[in-house]
Each structure stands twice: as C-alpha cells, then as structure tokens.
Amino acid sequence: MNKLYIEGNKQLSGNVRISGSKNAALPILFMSILTKEKVQLTNVPKLTDIDTTIQLLKYLGAKIKNKKKILHIDTSLIKSNCPPYHLTKKIRASIWLLAPLLIRFGKAKIFLPGGCKIGSRPIDLHIKGLIELGANITLEDNYIFATIEKPLIGKNIYIQKVSVGATITIMGAAALSEGTTVIENAAREPEIIDIAKFLNTLGANIIGAGNNKIFIKGVSRLFGGTHKVIPDRIETGTFLIGAAISQGNVICHQTEPKFLKNVLIKLLESGAKINIGKNWIQLDMRGKKPKSINIATSPYPGFPTDLQPQFTLLNTISQSEGITTENIFENRFIYVSELIKMGAQIKIKKNSVICKGVSHLQSQNVFSTDLRGAATLVLAGCIASGITIVNNIYHFERGYELFSEKLNKLGANIKHI
C-alpha cells in the first residue's frame, strides 16, 4: 500500500481542517526531555515522523500515552542517552535529542540524523552553538559524542547562517544553562515562537523568539505543563495551492493566517480571491486558471522553502512563464523530473526553475523522493488528465495527516493501492 491511484481532472473545493504543525510538534516532543515533570500536548498531528519520535522517546525510557487526543508525556524515567541508529536515522528532527540528553545526563551519543534528501543537511551550526555554551563534542564517522564537565554557561552566540534547527538546539540548551544567552541571527519561524512558548510554560525564561535576537535567561530546572501546538502553515499553503491549480474554492479551518502573509500575497498575484478570518483562510479561483508567479525562497518571514515545489506546480499549468528560485536547500528540485514526465515544460538553471505554462498535465506513473515533492505530485495527479500513480507515498505520510482523505473530501478521487 505504498502507492496512490489518483483520478485526474478534479476541482478541489470545500472545507478542510488543518492539523497541528509537524515542525513545531517534533522539536517540542524532544525538548520535553528537559523536564522530569509531566507534560501534556494537544493538536499534535498523526504523522509517521511523530510516531518515530514517540518510539525514540519510549526507547529512551519515557512514558507516553495518547488519551482523547491529549499526548501525556513523562520523561522522568528516561535512563538512556544513546538513541538507536535505526530510529534516529529516519528523521532530521532527531538532531534535537542532542541538547536535551546532554543537559540531562552530562553526556550523549547521537547518531547523525536522517531527513529529506534535499541537500547535505549539515549539523555544524548545532555543534558550534553547543561548544560555545561549553560542551565538548566530537564527530565520529556516523555519530556525535558530547560531554559536559560542568553546567553550560550562557553566551552571546551569533549563528553564521539562519538555521531553524540550530536556533532550536541552542535555545533548548540555553534554557537550562547558567547565566544569559543571546542568540543573534536567530531563525524567526512561527515554530520557533511556539517552542519558546512551550519552554516558558515549563518555567523557562525566553524573550524575543520570532525576532532575529533571542534572550534566554537560564533557570535551574523546568516543571510540567500543557501546550497546544500551533497549526501547520505548510499544510495550509499546500491545500490553498490545491485550490489554485484546480480552479477551486477551498476554506482552510483551524489555521493561522498571519503565518502565511507572503504566501497569500503570491496567491493574490496568481489571481486568487482570498478571504481570511480569525482562524480560517478561503481561496477562491472563481473557475479561472492561475497566473504565473515568480518566487524566491528565504528564511521566515520570507517565502517558505517548504512550499517551493507546490508553487512550481502552479506555474506549470499557469497562463504564462514563472520562475522559482530556491535559496535555502541545494537540491530541492528532485521532483521536477517527475513533473516533466507529466508534460510540464520546466528548465532548471542553477538554483532556479523556469516554468512555461501548459494547458494541462498528463497522467503518469511518478515517484516521490521527498516530503513536499511527494505532496506536489499528488496535487499534480488530481489535476492531470487520466489516472496518475504516485509511488513511495511514505514520503508524504511523514508530514501530512490524512492527506488523501482530506483531498477526497475536497472532491479528489484518490485510492491507496
């Protein structure tokens, strides 16, 4: 059952409930290791990456139960500081085991993380930040070995490249360091704000998350607490683009419009009519095909790299020519070859793709290679002529809760085969 059978020529219209943010829930789960008291999380999406993370925490000794959609986490009994290779390797997020286990045990052995093959995915900025706080870290062939002789000491840390992951690693470590840490050139994503809010709920003292300078006054310990994970802005954008490419009219509920300012501006440029409310966004194409748009990805609040493939798809069936430039990851156009197989007219030039709009895509047997590329191929299948088979769907099951079910409720006809 690792394939989808997708009937094309569908218009996506109706209501969809957005799930909790994968990229907030994953680090929050790992940062729960920083406290020995009980934590409750709500709005955690049901994803294979979340399942892997829960397996990792349970392997270390944590007790985790999901009761009535509330995730109850108790890490007080965690006794291992060396997570297993086979689970660590499955996800990029496992890098966020390093700081909490190091703080908890004074030493940690973490295998190098996995994640989408959209670039080299280095971890040097995570390591540099922890060394600046006083950790001793050696990188062996496929694992990190870290120790601390005495409590970490807060420092002014300038991260040389804007990095969501490294900002989170340093913020988590600094929360329980002595003294104050100032993170400069910090990532500003909404997920960073949510993680800071979670840690502050447990008793941390973090000010300025969401800006490029974050102040963290170390505390001696963290307590328990309850936290609701923010909505997934990338899932929201994916469904809005689904409406835009199929000339449909979709309302995304339980989301946060302010997280998608730049994305909505681009969708308006494509000719969409957009209405927003407190926690919903409506996109109505009024039956029209989208105009092509040029996008260039950059760190938040710039255009999100995680919506780059989906917007390229929009350009492939737009009214003229659009350029997508990828400035975050060095290899995030793998999905393009599959769209070309479906009849898209795309040229890759360095870190840009130039799309010449065609009247429609043709159905094909296509292969996913990463999370957002996979979601893009599924959307392409919904609008192509005929029946499209998307292979390796485990890629999108990592990051989209009930994706095909939600699309079918909007008028798609997708079957697992």
Residue numbers at the binding site for ligand EPZ (CB under 6 A): 22-23, 26, 92-93, 116, 119, 121-126, 161, 163-166, 187, 305-306, 328-329, 371-372, 399
Of 135, 138, 205, give the one whose Cα is nearest residue 171: 205
Residue 89 or 121 with smaller CB distance to ligand EPZ: 121
Residue 92 or 288 with smaller CB distance to ligand EPZ: 92
Residue 120: other Cβ atoms inside 10 A:
9
Cα distances from 329 to residues 93, 94, 98, 308, 369, in angstroms, run 16, 19, 23, 11, 15
What letter does residue 22 receive in the DSSP assignment?
Answer: H
Residue facing ligand EPZ at closest CB distance: 165
Residues 182 and 214: beta-carbon distance below 8 Å? yes
Q: Find the Cα–Cα–Cα–Cα dihedral 329, 335, 337, 343, rounded to 10°.
A: -130
Residue 51 or 124 with smaller CB distance to ligand EPZ: 124
Q: Which one is catalytic: 82, 116, 252, 382?
A: 116
382 classed as catalytic:
no
Crossing angle between the packed helical segments 22-31 and 233-245, to the nearest 10 degrees? 170
Of 179, 211, 168, give the one whose Cα is nearest residue 34: 168
What is the distance between the alpha carbons of residues 173 and 149, in angstroms, rounded to a whole number?
A: 15
Question: Taking the complex as a whole, how short is the minimal distance between the CB of residue 271 and ligand EPZ, in angstroms?
Answer: 27
Question: Taking the complex as a whole, how short is the minimal distance between the CB of residue 307 and ligand EPZ, in angstroms?
Answer: 9
What is the distance between the alpha carbons of residues 168 and 360, in angstroms, rounded to a whole number?
A: 42
Tokens read off for 120:
């080299």
Question: Taking the complex as a whole, how short is the minimal distance between the CB of residue 28 and ligand EPZ, in angstroms?
Answer: 11
Residue 98 or 116 with smaller CB distance to ligand EPZ: 116
Cβ contacts of residue 226 below 8 Å, gap of 6+?
39, 40, 41, 42, 201
Residue 84 or 122 with smaller CB distance to ligand EPZ: 122
| Residues noted as catalytic | 116
